[in-house]
Structure 1
Amino acid sequence: MQPGWLSTLAWISLAVGVVSFVIVLVDTYLYGHRQPARVMEIVWLVTVLYVGPVAVRLYWNWGRPGPRAPNRRGVVVTQVSRCGAHCALGFIVAEVALYGLDLSPDLLWIDYAGDYLMAVTIAVLFRLFEGPRRSVTRIWSALRTVVKVELLTITTFEVALFVWLTLAHHMVSGESPLRPDSPTFWFVGQLGLIAGFVAAWPAATWQIGRGRAIAAR
């Protein structure tokens, strides 16, 4: 049985994420600060949804279109946010899709495999829809770009997420794993995504430092 304070905290945290989402949504579509690359609009909306006000500040500093000189920190923020959005969307889609499976804690790896594969798939789709043409050749090109530019950051993000989820499942729910029909599940997932965001920062910095990252904007 989960304590009442945990459920209350979960609702508050999720509400803060939604408010942050609305702030960026209004700034993007009502005030007209559209991203040159349209997929980045999805990236920032997803990022503020799980990171909250801190991500709103990152968006205002480096994500919001405007006359600013590009710098290394802005490129890293964009790279981590982009890979994090793939992981967050992969987590949401896979967990909802696998909701019908009553998995025991020993079979959580099935959830994790689904999350990871979905994150990589979404990364490829984002790269695919950035291009002017969509063909089999373009799909392979998008896949190669993801492997070269984003896979390390995505993998680092996912490892941190999975470690946190495993710990949380044992600490919060014991023998019965958390389920997507509980606000606590999404709160735990939100914390795991934030942990992934932080853990992925060094990987993104390393890739950019080696000149392997492609500008996302």
Structure 2
Amino acid sequence: MQPTWLLALSWVSLAVGIVSCAIVVADTYLRGHRQPARVMEIVWLVTVLYVGPAAVRLYWNWGRPEAFTRRRQEGQPRRPRRGIVLTHVSRCGAHCALGFVVAEVALYVVKSDPAQETLWVDYAGDYLAALTIAVLFRYFGAPGRSVTKIWHALSTVAKVELLTITAFELALFGWLTLAHRVVFPEPPLRPDSPIFWFAGQLGLIAGFIAAWPTASWQLGRGLRIGPRRLSHDAAR
């Protein structure tokens, strides 16, 4: 049985994530600070859910639509390099976080023996789910619905997001392997335990940190990882 302090720490960490998410929900939907790209509302809600208060600060400084208006008034660049990289990592991280939750719960439900450790199956499911969600975000985030849009979403994910998602997932899987084998070996971590999701939070944070250099390198190579035009700028 896991120690009581670890259970308590896990519940506290999950509660902090939920409270952080509630703060952004209130700011977005009650105070009316909607994102120009609606999909980014999901991205920021997911990001603060696993990163916590630090992501709330990042949202306030870089993700909130009013942040760009303030920067214009102060004569600063509307889309500085750090803001572009942060948005890209947050978006790819949201795909990975949602993929992790969906795949882990689904695999836990269908496993005949939930205690059996099949980490490679879990990791494959997490990765495929993250890529699928990335394509869906691209597809539903653009206007219109057509077969050609599916191919455009696939190609965009392959060119723009695949590398960052892969870096994120590798860090996540590396931490989860340590968590399963070394840090929390007994009893086995399963999705019906808060410790599993606490370990997942730590892994997602590790993925966020690991994905940052990859996104920065992509931007340095001239790859357009940010939006072509923000509605704030268009209305200027």
Query: Could you say what secondary structure the match of 1:197 adopts?
Result: helix
Residue 142 of structure 2 corresponds to which residue in structure 1?
131
2:100 matches 1:88: no
Q: Does 1:118 align with 2:129?
A: yes
Instruction: Note the C-alpha offset of 1:215.
Output: 1.8
Q: Aligned equivalents of 1:112 and 1:57: distance in 2?
A: 30
Aligned counterparts of 1:99 and 1:18: Cα–Cα separation in 2: 23
Distance in 1 (CA, whole Å) between partners of 2:158 and 2:115 is 30
Q: How many Å apart are 1:176 and its aligned residue?
A: 5.1
List aligned pairs for 1:41-80, cutoff 5 A: 41-66=41-66, 67=69, 68=71, 69-80=78-89
Q: Alpha-carbon deviations, 1:145-186, whole Å to 9, x = none?
A: 001001000000000000000100112442653111100000
Alpha-carbon contact 1:104-1:175 (below 8 Å) kept = no
**Bigger radius of gyration among the two:** 2
Alignment of 1:1-217 (within 5 A): 1-66=1-66, 67=69, 68=71, 69-100=78-109, 101=111, 102=114, 104-105=116-117, 107-174=118-185, 177-216=188-227
The share of aligned pairs that are identical, in percent, is 73
Q: Distance in 1 between matches of 2:149 and 2:124?
A: 25
Q: Letter of the 1:33 partner, please give it.
A: H
CA root-mean-square deviation: 1.2
Alpha-carbon distance between aligned partners in 2 of 1:213 and 1:83, rounded to the nearest angstrom = 14
Equivalent pairs counted in the alignment come to: 216
Residues 58, 132 of structure 1: alpha-carbon distance in 2 compared, 3 angstrom cutoff? same
Scaled by the length of structure 1, the TM-score of the pair is 0.96
Task: Determine helix, strand or coil for the equivalent of 1:212.
Answer: coil
SS for the counterpart of 1:98 is helix
Secondary structure in structure 2 of the residue aligned to 1:150: helix
